[in-house]
Structure 1
Amino acid sequence: MFKKIAYFVITAILIFSLLQISAFAKDSTITINPGQIFNIFDYLKDVGDKLTIIYSDDNSEVIFIVTSKGTDEKGDYILCNVTNKSGTFQQKYYIPYIPHKIGTVTYTTKDGQKTEDILSDKYLPDDEQILAWLNGLYHNINVLSIDKVNGVPIKQTQYWYFANFLPQSEREYLASRFIDGTAFEWPSIWYTINVNGKQIHYEQYGAMPYIKNGRMMIPYRALFELGFGLPENQVIWNGDDYSVTVIKGDTTIKLKIGDKTAYINGKPYTLDTAPELELDRTFVPLRFVSEGLGYKVEWVPGPDGTYGVGTVNITGD
C-alpha cells in the first residue's frame, strides 16, 4: 500500500513539473516587418516560453526557447536556445530594470506646489533611493521647500532635517558660484564622518555639514556629543557672546560666532573659516576643533572628487 502511495506521489510530481514547462509555457509567433521594433521580454519570461519570429521581407524564421533564468553581475537574465538558418546556439538576454513607485514627495517651487512619485533604483535599496531623491530636491535651486513625504509633513518623518532650507538668496549665491566653478558649498547628507570607526549621525541635530573655504563645517554638538561622547557640561554655549566652549581632559577650546580667532587653553589661533550660525545651528570647523582636542583627521574624497561626497575619519582618544 505504501509503495503504491509513494508511486502515485512521485508520478504526480513529475506530471506537474512537466505541466509547468509545457501547459503553462507560452508559444508565440509574430511577424516582423522591416524597421519594426519589438521587445523580446513581452513574449519570453519563464522557462519553456517559445517565440517564433517570422521576418516578412524574406520569410525567414528565428526561434527562441527559454531554457533557464538567472542573475549575474550584470543583472537578471533569461538563457535561450536560439535557432536560425545557421543552426542552434545559446544566448543570454538581460532583463531591463523597470523602476516602480516607492513613495511620493511634495515640494514647492516658485510656480507652486507639486507632488511626484519617487521611483526605485536598480542599484539602491528603497530607503537610500528616497534619501537620494530628497537630497536632489534639497540641492535644486528651483525648489523652495520640501513639504511632505508619502503625504506626511516632512517634519514628522525621519527625513525632517531636509525641511531646514538655506535662505533662497544664499541658495542662489551658492548655485552661481557652482556655475562659475569657484566653489560648491551645499550642505550634504553624503558626507560620512567617523570617529574611531563609528559614524556620526549628524542629521539627528537637524543640520548637515558643508564645505566653506575648503574647510568642513559641522554642527558642534553633533561632533562633540555624538562623535566624542562629551557630556553637556563639557560643551558650553554662551548666548551672551555667541561662543562655544568645549572641555576635554586638560584641553579647553573656545570659539565665537563670526570670529576667526579661537583659543586653545587661552592661546589664540587664527582660523581659515570662522564658526557660523546657520539654520539655528552653530557650525564649527571640524579639523581645527578635532585636532585641537588631540585627534587625527583624514579626509577621503568621494569617487572622482565628486562634490558633496566624501568621508572624514577621525581617530584618537
Structure 2
Amino acid sequence: MFKKLVYFVVTAVLVFSLLQISAFAKDSTITVNPGQIFNIFDYLKDVGDKLTVIYSGDNSKVIYKVLAKGTDEKGDYILCETTGEPNWNNDPPSQQKFYLPYVPHKIGTVTYTTKDGQVTEDMLSVKYATDDVQVLGYLEGLYTDVNVISIDKVNGIPIRQTQYWYFANFLPQSEREYLASRFIDGTAFEWPSIFYTINVNGKQIHYEQYGAMPYVKNGRMMIPYRALFELGFGLPENQVIWNGDDYSVTVIKGNTTIKLKIGDKTAYINGKPYILDTAPELKLDRTFVPLRFVSEGLGYKVEWIPDSGQRAGWGTVNITGD
C-alpha cells in the first residue's frame, strides 16, 4: 500500500510538472503571405509555446519553440529553437533570441512656454537611460531649444521649487538664437550641460549649487569659478577674490597666484602672462573660467573621459593633485 502511495505521488508530480510545460503551452499555426509582417510576441510568450509559420508563397515552414526567457543588457527576451521545413541539408535546429519591444512609460510632466504659449506634456522613458537621467535629458533638450522661452513646472511644481531649479536660469534670447545658429550635426557645446561630471580627487563637484552649468567653447570647458575653486579645491573665500572694478578673479593657493579677467585672453600666473584659447566670460550673473588652465596652473592634473557611447555633451573630467 505504501509503495502504491509513493508511486501515485511521484507520478502526480511528474504529470503536473509536464503540464506546466506542455498542457498550458500554446501551439499556434499561422499562414503568412508574401510581404506580410507578423509579431512573434503575439504568439510566443512562455516557455513551451510553439509557433508554426507557413509561408504561402512556397508552402515552406519555420517552427519556433520557446526554450527559455531572460534579460540581458539589450532587454527582455525569449530564446527560441528554430527549425525550417523542408530541411534539405538536415541542418540541426538553431537557437535565436527575440527581444521584447520596449514600451515607454510616463516618468512625469513638464510645463514650458514658447512664443505660441504654454505647453504641458508627458515625459516618457527611453530604453537605455534611468528615469532620473531621462528627466535631465528632457529638461536639457528644452533648455537648448531656441523656441522655448522658459521651463515653468516639473510634475506641476514650479521649477524653482524643485531639484531642477537651475534649468530656470535662461540665457538671453539673443544669445540663445546665436548658439542655435552654431549647431553642427545636432550639437552645440556652448550650451550649458548638466551631463558633465567633474571630480576632484574622486569627489564630484555639484556645480549646479551655483545656479549655472559648465559648457565647452573653442574646445575648452568653462566652469563657474567659485564652483571649481571653493567646492572643488576647498579654497576659502579670502583666497578667491572677485574685483568688481576691473572684472577680474584672483585665486591664491600656496605659492601660486592666478589672475584672470572677463573678456581678456591674457591670464597671469605669479605675474607671468599666458595667452588663453578662450577668455573668461560672464553669463547668468556667473563668471566662467577655463577649467584646464586654472586647474593645471594650480598644480593639478586634468583628464577628460568622453562618454563611452559617444553621446555629445556627456563625459567626465577627473582632476587630481594636492
TM-score bracket, normalised by the shorter chain, equals 0.7 to 0.9
Residue 93 of structure 1 is aligned with which of 93, 97, 107? 97
* Equivalent residue number for residue 159 of structure 2: 154
Equivalent of 1:208, from 184, 204, 213?
213
1:12–1:100: structure 2 CA closer, same or farther, 3 Å change rule? Answer: farther
Contact 2:143 2:170 in 1 (8 A): yes
1:21 lines up with 2:18 in the alignment:
no
- Is the 8 Å Cα contact of residues 80 and 98 (structure 2) preserved in structure 1? no
Distance 1:285 1:31, change over 3 A: same
- In the alignment, which residue of structure 1 is the partner of 2:173? 168
Deviation at 1:90, TM superposition (A): 3.1
Superposition deviation, residue 100 in structure 1: 1.5
> Take 2:4 and 2:123, find their aligned partners in 1: how far apart are those partners?
57
| 1:137 counterpart SS class | helix
Decide which of 115, 119, 127 is 2:124's aligned counterpart: 119
- Secondary structure at 2:182 match in 1: helix
Gap change, CA 1:85 and 1:178, over 3 Å in 2: closer
CA deviation after TM superposition for structure 1 residue 221, in Å? 1.3
Cα pair distance change 1:75/1:309, threshold 3 Å: closer
Letter in 1 for 2:30: I
In the alignment, does 2:237 pair up with 1:232? yes
Percent identity of paired positions between Structure 1 and Structure 2: 81
1:47 alignment counterpart: 47
> Whole-Å Cα distance in 1 between the matches of residues 51 and 207 of structure 2?
55
Cα distance, 1:6 vs. partner?
9.0
What displacement does 1:228 show?
A: 0.6
Give the CA RMSD over aligned residues: 3.5
* More off after superposition, 249-258 vs 276-285: 249-258
Offset at residue 169 of structure 1 (A): 1.1
Mapped contact 2:81–2:96 kept (Cα < 8 A): no
Alignment pair present for 1:78 and 2:78: yes
Closer, same or farther: CA 75–180 of 1 in aligned 2, 3 Å: closer
Q: Is the 8 A contact 1:295 1:314 kept in 2?
A: yes
Change (3 A) 1:307 1:81: closer
Aligned to 2:140: 135
For the Cα contact (< 8 Å) 1:75–1:94, is it kept in 2?
no
TM-score by length of 2: 0.82
Q: Which runs of 5+ in 2 are unaligned?
A: none
Instruction: Choose 169-178 or 118-127, whichever is displaced more.
Output: 118-127
Structure 1 SS opposite 2:122: strand
The TM-score with structure 1 as length reference comes to 0.83
Is 1:192–2:227 an aligned residue pair?
no
> In structure 2, what residue type is equivalent to 1:20?
Q
Structure 1 residues 278-293: aligned runs within 5 Å = 278-293=283-298
